């Protein structure tokens, strides 16, 4: 009986030693992992333009100012449609009203303000896929000044209507680029690429072509340039066989 117990005890020691040894080997030789970052980018041209301008009218009395603004609105609308824009692409915002006041002083002491009249301002926004036409209008809009309309224009903003599809394409390109890099690294180290462990998408960036604008950690989104470049990164981790 004592002999049998000794045999069992000895076997237990051997098994425990084997398990501990195997555990040590795994800790000493952890699975080899390759981490790579792939880049996907593409140049594209914006297919949607947004352009804004505002005009105003002023008068001591509110009603004449409002009437003048309505006449100017009709002139702006007629001008834009005569240049080839459709009415559904022209959006007039609500009228903004403010009082015109001058500061009043007695000597060097400020004593209040003097009412001079009302100023009414209205913004017109154009959204269209006909980028070339809107660009041309934005450059020639000063012609309205010759018609007596106090019009101020802002630079056009450029967008892309198929941005979701473009992003998917960029992810695919970046993933493929990362996989090729990982295969080269594994091959150069004498191994083979194993299973994909994880994939993390980086920041999606849109910058102007030929510009020197910096990338942003939060993601750059250029609206000032008609010709743009989209880019994205993918970080992949693979096992190595």
Confidence of residue 108 (pLDDT cuts 50, 70, 90): confident
Supply the pTM of this predicted model.
0.77
User: How does the average pLDDT of the chain come out, rounded?
Assistant: 86
- Whether 140 shows a pLDDT value over 70: the answer reads yes
pLDDT at 106: 84
Percent of the chain with pLDDT over 90: 66
- Whether 3 shows a pLDDT value over 90: the answer reads no
- Whether 179 shows a pLDDT value over 70: the answer reads yes
Cα distance between residue 8 and residue 43, in whole Å? 73
Percent of the chain with pLDDT over 70: 85
In contact, 162 and 45? CB cutoff 8 Å? no
Per-residue tokens: 45: 């041209």
pLDDT (mean) for 53-66 = 95
In contact, 36 and 196? CB cutoff 8 Å? no
121: part of which helix (H) or strand (E)?
strand 109-128
Task: Give all domains of the chain, ordered by start, each with its CATH number.
Answer: 30-45+162-240 (3.30.110.170), 49-100+115-157 (3.30.70.2970)
Tokens 């947004």, residue? 50
Confidence of residue 216 (pLDDT cuts 50, 70, 90): low
pLDDT at 218: 67
| Model confidence pLDDT, tens digit, residues 11-39 | 444 344 333 334 333 344 445 888 999 99
Cα distance between residue 233 and residue 167, in whole Å? 11
pLDDT at 105: 87
- Whether 219 shows a pLDDT value over 90: the answer reads no
Strands 150-153 and 205-208: unpaired
Confidence of residue 8 (pLDDT cuts 50, 70, 90): very low
Three-class DSSP category at 108: coil
- Whether 223 shows a pLDDT value over 90: the answer reads yes
| Model confidence pLDDT, tens digit, residues 65-107 | 999 999 999 999 999 999 999 999 999 999 999 999 989 888 8
Q: Which residues contact 119 (CB under 8 A, 6 or more apart)?
A: 56, 57, 58, 65, 97, 98, 99, 100
Distance spanning both ends of the chain, measured CA to CA: 49
Cα distance between residue 34 and residue 171, in whole Å? 19
State the Rg of the chain over Cα: 35
pLDDT at 27: 44
pLDDT at 215: 67
Length of the chain: 241
pLDDT (mean) for 103-125 = 90
């Amino acid at each position: 009986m004592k002999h049998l117990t000794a045999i069992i005890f000895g076997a237990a020691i051997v098994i425990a030693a084997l398990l501990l040894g195997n555990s040590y080997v795994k800790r000493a030789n952890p699975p080899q992992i390759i981490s790579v970052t792939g880049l996907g980018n593409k140049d594209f041209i914006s297919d949607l333009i947004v352009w804004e301008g505002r005009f105003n009218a002023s008068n001591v009395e509110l009603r004449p100012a409002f009437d003048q603004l309505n006449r100017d609105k009709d002139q702006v609308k007629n001008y834009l449609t005569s240049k080839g824009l459709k009415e559904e692409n022209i959006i007039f915002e609500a009228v903004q009203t403010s009082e015109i006041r001058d500061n009043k002083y007695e000597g060097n002491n400020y004593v209040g303000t003097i009412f001079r009249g009302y100023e009414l301002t209205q913004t017109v926004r154009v959204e269209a896929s006909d980028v070339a036409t809107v660009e041309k209008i934005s450059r020639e809009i000063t012609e309205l000044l010759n018609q007596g309309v106090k019009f101020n224009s802002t630079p056009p903003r450029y967008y892309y209507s198929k941005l979701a599809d473009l992003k998917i394409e960029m992810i695919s390109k970046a993933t493929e680029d990362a996989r090729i890099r990982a295969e080269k690294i594994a091959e150069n180290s004498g191994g083979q690429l194993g299973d994909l462990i994880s994939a993390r998408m980086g920041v999606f960036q849109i910058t102007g072509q030929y510009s020197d604008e910096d990338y942003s950690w939060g993601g750059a989104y250029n609206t000032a340039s008609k010709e743009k470049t989209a880019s994205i990164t993918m970080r992949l981790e693979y096992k190595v066989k």
